[in-house]
Chains A and B, each alone.
Chain A
Amino acid sequence: MTDTKKRAEYRQLVESYTEDLYRYAVWLCKDPVNADDLVQETCLRAWKSLDKLKDKAAVKGWLIRILRNEYARQFSRYRPVFVEKELDDVAKKDLGNDTSNEAFFLRRAIAELAEEYREPLLLQVLGGFSCEEIGEICGLTKGATMTRLFRAKQKLREQLEAED
């Protein structure tokens, strides 16, 4: 692949999938700065391996797999460092969360879902993946993916109704 062609493919990949990768990364890292780092690292690895990607149609799943592997490799050993800050500066962050009761209960219920249910759900809602694609990423059959998605949503509905 020529350098020009590779750059064009990379640009297209970044423009098409970065936002989905970032949303998923925020849920994994629970921190927007770490998610930013994780997506940058994921795309850098994708750039280095772009020549090896044979099935262009599967690029989104390929990127998610890189991101999951990178997250497991990198952020399991993350240790934050203390920094002195003034209260006025502190108050400028953490404003992006929907604090409605409904959203709170739903996020809490999602966080309490077993990983086997949460991951397919996040891939569907945030990544827009089909059941087949989720199955490929998570190593599940399409039927098993459907079942997990059904149960995940059922659990969330039940918990939300219980809170009402």
Chain B
Amino acid sequence: MNSLDCKRFQKIAGADLSALDEPLLVHAESCDDCAGFLTSARTFDALLGKAINVEVPVDLISKIESQPDESSSVRSGSAKRTPRYMAIAASLLLIVGVSIISNNLSQSDNPTLGQVVLSHINAEPEMLSLASYIPEDDLKKSLLNFGAKLQQPMANVSHVELCDIGDTKGIHVVMKGEKGPVTLLLLPTIKSKSSSSFAEGPWVGYTEPLGQGTIAIVGEIGEPLDKIDASVRDAISWI
């Protein structure tokens, strides 16, 4: 085994498998360490590709191919390009009509609100970062912009954002829990009559009526969500 070759091999294979040249591949054939590293790197790259793959709408290419014609008709007063509602409809059609990445939710014809909530959280993992907390005044302003009023202080909130949740809008709040980040989704336009609980992977949560709308609370297994629920109900009201 030549340690210099091994070092070079693993540096390249760990970054870009397609950059491995013939001599390096030959080296791996005679080096158990590098052969093992190569197998592991290939497996990891495949996993990575699958995890971050995104299904492409079936009509996207044809829609874009026709853009030059639509673009030239702008000058004569027609629409510039495909209206947004058509894009939304196309997106919905895609998601409903095409089986996407194999997963639990895609196997369900009628996902529950809990599944929609979990799917939304899974789609925005960056929101779970608890790097810093939002000052109370900023939180108050943000909530006001989104149709909610902060009546009492809420500590340890790291994110607040108006999001597309399923096909509606909701306020996505992330705050520090005892076990880890806790996600609150405030859904002012979703009227639920009763509560329901759900669990998947590392997450447990439930949805409950909140005023005229619904609140969803999700945290890691073992998180005392009821404490946060109570504090949120005291702190937030719809305008």
Contact = CB atoms under 8 A, between A and B. Distances in A.
Contacts of A103: 50-51, 103, 122
B129 interface: yes
Nearest to B98: A96
Most chain B CB within 10 A, of A19, A98, A153, A156, is at A98
A94 B189 contact: no
Nearest to A100: B103
Contacts of B87: 33, 36-37, 40
A116 interface: no
A79 B147 CA distance: 13
Contact of B15 (A82, A104, A122, A147): A147
Interface in B45-83: 45, 47-57, 60-61, 63-65, 67-68, 71, 81-82
Interface in A112-153: 112, 122, 124-126, 130-131, 145-147, 149-150, 153
- Contact residue range for chain A? 35 or more
Given A90-B167, A97-B101, A36 B90 contact: yes
Contacts of B103: 97-100, 103
A94 B119 contact: yes
Contact of B52 (A15, A48, A106, A149): A106
Contacts of B15: 131, 145-147, 149-150, 153
A73 interface: no
Nearest to B192: A87
Contacts of B105: 94-95, 97, 99
B125 A96 contact: no
Interface stretch (A6-14, A52-60, A64-72): A6-14
B215 to A, nearest CB: 14
Nearest to B62: A14
Contacts of B143: none
B169 A89 contact: no
B202 interface: yes
B95 A87 contact: no
B81 A44 contact: yes
A131 B64 contact: no
Which of A7, A36, A81, A153 has most chain B Cβ within 10 Å? A36
Which of A18, A85, A97, A106 counts the most chain B CB atoms within 10 A? A97
Contacts of B39: none
B106 A95 contact: yes
A89 B73 CA distance: 34
Contacts of B104: 99
Contact of B147 (A82, A92, A96, A130): A82
Given A30-B123, A89-B166, A147-B15, 5 more contacts: A83-B168, A87-B192, A93-B166, A95-B95, A156-B44
Shortest Cβ-Cβ A-B pairs, 8 listed: A111-B126, A108-B125, A90-B166, A149-B15, A150-B15, A106-B51, A96-B100, A103-B51
10 contacts: A18-B61, A18-B64, A22-B54, A33-B88, A36-B60, A40-B81, A95-B95, A98-B102, A107-B123, A146-B19
